[in-house]
Structure 1
Amino acid sequence: MESRRDWTRLGRAIRSAREELGMTQAALAKAAGVARQTLRSLEAGEDRGRIPPSLGKVESALGWPSGHAMRTLEGRDEPPAPPAQTRPPYEGMPLRVIKELTDGQVLDSEVVDLTKPGSSSRLVVVYMSDAPAAEMDPEQLRAEIEEWTRVQRAMRRIAENEPPNVNEA
């Protein structure tokens, strides 16, 4: 007889682990190589008739041991603690950056490799909003996403030494 699968329990465990790691749904979906909608569905605890192949990918991206998601789904195991960080998350950052990172909601982020020969520079951009995305009206959210997309394209062109696109300015 098949054991009862608690998709809600698994969804809470995935969301909790993701948040403890400081990841957005988009970042975890990207790290796992799954669609954002797939991750959203897993976190929502939607009942499924079968085990999706994406479950192992999400489990791995969270740093969980193999089989842990299934044990959680079947109520046999609690999620492990996320990997310990080697240093505090804000160590070495200026106070004004720490303040900005702790005010508002992170909507997305981008890491642009600016490495030139002999350099190890990276540009990290965190896109934040004072209002949570869930509280924005659809038009406001669309405008925010369009602006963020424009900024990401411009950053990538800079990193690739391409001339700016005057139509996006």
Structure 2
Amino acid sequence: MTEDRTKLHWPKLATAIRAAREARRLTQLALAELAGISEGSVQNLEDISRRPGRIPPSLAKVEPHLGWAEGSGLAILRGGEPTPAPVVHDASASLHGGPDRLRGKLPLRIVDELESDDPLLDSQVIQLPGTQGARMTVVVHGTPDATPEQIQEALLAWRKAERNLRRLSDDDGDEPQAANGA
């Protein structure tokens, strides 16, 4: 995307990122780990004096961890405001056919977990290495009474576990790839 650099509001974006991060009680390092980027990338995004020549790819990676919808960073750069990320209330209801369809395909303990009222923190579909399209689906729930700090702690733990899952390799040394492009 080509933008006129002089018309973009870099200081406004840097201030908004820092405020959103601090509101979620995240350190720069914690945000970096959640987003899968370096701490330096977060520092650069929060540097009010910096005016990069292009939109950094790290911007899109931090948006969901700041509670922003996709494209919010660009909206701020253009003088607007961030859009709050949509809240997912019931993961099973959005699946084709809902929980009744799942009951015939999944073990009851899995359906019960998907139908729980516990907040959905994240999900991922990961291609299994050395297979012809087999994949693993992971759904990460928190506890209903979790504090923001506990939720962030759970998300950091999931990020570390996710990295370990991605490091799995088959006999040929192929790396697994996320099915959803993440």
TM-score by length of 2: 0.43
TM-score by length of 1: 0.47
